[in-house]
Structure 1
Amino acid sequence: MTLNIGWIGCGRHASQMLMPQLARNDLHIAAVCDLDDKAASRAAWQYGAEASYGYYRDLINHKGLDAIGMAVGPEVHHDAALAALASGLPVFIEKPPAKDLKATEEIAEASIRAGKPVIVGFMKRYSTGNRIARNIVKDTEFGPIMGLSGYYMNEPAYFAGKPDYTSFYLHHCVHYMDLLPWLAGSPFADLSVRVNVSTPGHILVHLGFECANGTIGSVAMGTTQSRGTPTESLTIMGDHKRVEIQNIIHVKYFRHPSFKADDAQATLSPDTDTLCWEPNFTAAANEDHKGYAALIADAAAAFRGEASAAPQIHDGVVAMASLERMTALIEQEFKKQKK
């Protein structure tokens, strides 16, 4: 069944990463909206929308819509989501769902009142490497997860005058506020931070954590690496087992192999030796290993009332609560360093 969706925000990220996945999942873009008339008109032409608007309320009132999708700023996410839900429409919101926890909770409450799902764009859950890893560690063969470590970096953000790291927290760190507990299978119970700033705008945060199920770990997040290099790495540690995910497209599953050097009959055992996976980028298949296609597929299922594993607004509430805990700890560290 094809659904008509109205889309808010026609910038590069939306038009190149998200909107191409809609038609693949029988979501017809009936109308688009952007404050930039040229961006809206270009997206309308590119995706066959019958109308383009400059104001989100006008788009929400477009006749015949079955759902609303958006990738704009966190404040508009909040306001437009509330307006869409008030009109009885389910919603897809790119992360972050709102500017803070309170505003995210307001969307969650509106979703409950309307009886309509609000899907949040935590596509890291759908990145192929991360999904492989999650399926491995969920299996009873892996056993309890003991630890989780890694890094998730970005290039420097530059500021005039006093730096404001809000965008870094909201658009970058929020991903791992969702991904790490999802991989561990348990929410954060305890958080700690260490912070290093080389020059204004160049920040490195080490987040330590313990999950409710006892999983411990640490992750480095910062604006101190070029995006021209691999910027993401995760290791999930079990007892004599571990899974490593490099740059979301290289997965290694280490088990408990025997030593090979003194065994003349040594071979590779499917039961104990390391398993490796990486995608074949020369294949003609239209795959999306970053995870946007699979995320939108689950969002479309949720819009139709079908079973869906899509991250919903309550997941956004949990992630934003963790983000605010982390940023409060960072501010405390900044104050200590000034003394």
Structure 2
Amino acid sequence: MTLNIGWIGCGRHASQMLMPQLAKNDLHIAAVCDVNEKAAAKAAWHFGADAVYGDFLELINHKGLDAIGMAVGPEVHHAATLAALAKGLPVFIEKPPAKDLANTQAIADAADKAQKSVIIGFQKRYATGNRIARNILKSEAFGPIMGLTGYYMNEPAYFAGKADYSSFYLHHCVHYMDLLPWLAGSPFADLSVRVNVSEPGHILVHLGFECENGSIGSVAMGTMQSRGTPTESMTIMGDHKRLEIQNIIHVKYFRHPPFKADDREATLEPGVDTLCWEPNFTAAANEDHKGYAALIADVAAAFKGEASAAPQIHEGVAAMASLEQMTALVGQEFKKQKK
């Protein structure tokens, strides 16, 4: 079954990472919209759209649409999603869903009223390494998740002008407000922060947390590393087991092997020795290590009324609530440091 989708926002991220996945899942881009006329026209030509708009309200009123997708800014996400829901259309929105928790909750309320899906682009769940880890963590063999530690870094590209950290929080940190509870299998119960700033725009936030299931952890997020180096790592502890996910493409699963140095008959035992995975980048097949293809596949399934694990707007509400709690704590730390 092919559905007609209207797409809002034709920038580099949308046109390179998201829109190419739509046709693979029988989602035909019938109309596109962008305030940049050249970007919209290029996307229409590239993806075979029949109509081009500069106003998202005009696109939403395009005849024959079955759903709306968008990757723009949080203010437009909020306004355009409400407009689409008012027309009875399900929606996919990139993260963040809105500029704050209140507007995200407004979207959730409108989605409930319209009885339509609003799906959030929490793509970190779909990165292959993270999905492998999550499936192992859900198994009885791993047992209770004791702790999670890691880092998720960026560079100060958000701060070409004034060091306004809101973009860093909304576009970067929000990913881990969703990913950490998803990996732990439990919502946050408590958060704490420590902050270090070397110069305006160069921030390091250490987030400590406890989840409702008793898992504890810490993660460092900041703008102090080059994007030209690996900027993401996660270690998840169980009892005599641990998972390590490096750069989202290297997964190691450590169990409880015996020492082998003095055992002349030592070998590798499938049940206890370390398992490793990394993608084959030389293969012609799409390894989808970032997870965009898998995300859009679930979006398409949800739009078609099929079984789907796509993250819904209420999960976006939870992530934004955690993000606002974290940013409030960061603000308190800044005040302490100024005294």
Would the TM-score normalized by the shorter structure come out above 0.5?
yes
The 5 Å alignment of 1:139-158 reads 139-157=139-157
Please state whether the residue corresponding to 2:5 is helix, strand or coil. Answer: strand
DSSP-derived class of the 1:276 partner: strand
Counterpart residue identity of residue 335, structure 1:
K
Q: Does the alignment pair 1:20 with 2:14?
A: no
For residues 104-143 of structure 1, the C-alpha deviation after alignment (integer angstroms, 9 at most, x for no partner) is: 0000000001110000000000000000000001100000
Q: Which amino acid aligns with 1:164?
A: D
For the 8 Å contact 1:71–1:93, the answer to whether it is kept is yes
Map of 1:303 onto structure 2:
303
Q: Secondary structure at the match of 1:157?
A: helix
Distance in 2 of aligned mates of 1:317 and 1:227:
29
Q: Which residue of 1 aligns with 2:35?
A: 35
Match of 1:263 in 2: 263
Tell me, yes or no, if structure 1 residue 129 matches structure 2 residue 129: yes
Q: What is the correspondence of 1:126-275 to structure 2 with a 5 Å cutoff?
A: 126-157=126-157, 159=159, 162-275=162-275
Contact persistence 1:5–1:67 (CA under 8 A): yes
- Note if contact 1:243-1:253 (Cα within 8 Å) is conserved in structure 2: yes
- Asked if the contact 2:251/2:277 (under 8 Å) is kept, the reply is yes
* TM-aligned CA deviation for residue 158 of structure 1: 5.9
Post-superposition CA distance 1:203-229 (Å, at most 9, x none):
000000000000000000000000000
**Structure 2: 5+ residue runs without aligned partners?**
none
For structure 1, the 5+ residue unaligned runs are none
| Cα distance in 2 between the residues matched to 1:146 and 1:287 | 30
SS of the equivalent of 1:190 reads strand
* Contact 2:280 2:287 (C-alpha < 8 Å) held by counterparts: no
What is the distance in 2 between the residues matched to 1:199 and 1:323? Answer: 23
Inter-partner Cα distance in structure 2 for 1:81 and 1:158: 25
Secondary structure in 1 matching 2:196: strand
Give the superposed CA RMSD: 0.8
Is 2:55 the partner of 1:55? yes
Mapped partners of 1:239, 1:166: distance in 2: 38
Deviates most, 160-169 or 70-79: 160-169
Residue in structure 2 matched with residue 66 of structure 1 by the alignment: 66
User: What is the aligned residue count?
Assistant: 339
Percent of aligned positions with the same letter in both sequences? 83
- Distance in 1 between residues matched to 2:264 and 2:127, nearest whole Å: 40
Answer yes or no: is the 8 Å Cα contact 1:158–1:200 preserved in 2: no
SS of 2:227's equivalent?
coil
Which residue in the other structure is 1:94 paired with?
A: 94
* Distance across 2 between alignment mates of 1:22 and 1:157: 29
Deviation (angstroms), 1:159: 3.9
After superposition, the C-alpha distances for 1:246-287 in whole angstroms (9 at most, x for unaligned) are 010000000000100110100000000000000000001023
- Give the distance between the partners of 2:227 and 2:153, measured in 1 at CA: 8
Check the 8 A contact 1:157/1:202 in 2, yes or no: no
3-state secondary structure, aligned to 2:10: coil
Q: Return the letter of the residue paired with 2:134.
A: R
Alignment check: 8 A CA contact 2:158 2:167 kept: no
Does the C-alpha gap of structure 1 residues 160 and 34 become closer, same or farther in structure 2, counting only changes over 3 Å? closer
Relative to the length of structure 2, the TM-score reads: 0.99
In structure 1, give the amino acid aligned to 2:310.
A
Q: Secondary structure at the residue paired with 2:279? A: coil
Cα shift at 1:163: 1.8
The alignment partner of 2:192 has SS state of: strand
Amino acid in structure 1 at the alignment position of 2:249: I
Q: Distance in 2 between matches of 1:227 and 1:161?
A: 19
**TM superposition shift of 1:288:** 1.4
Task: Give 1:157 deviation, angstroms.
Answer: 3.4
Distance 1:114 1:200 in 2: 44
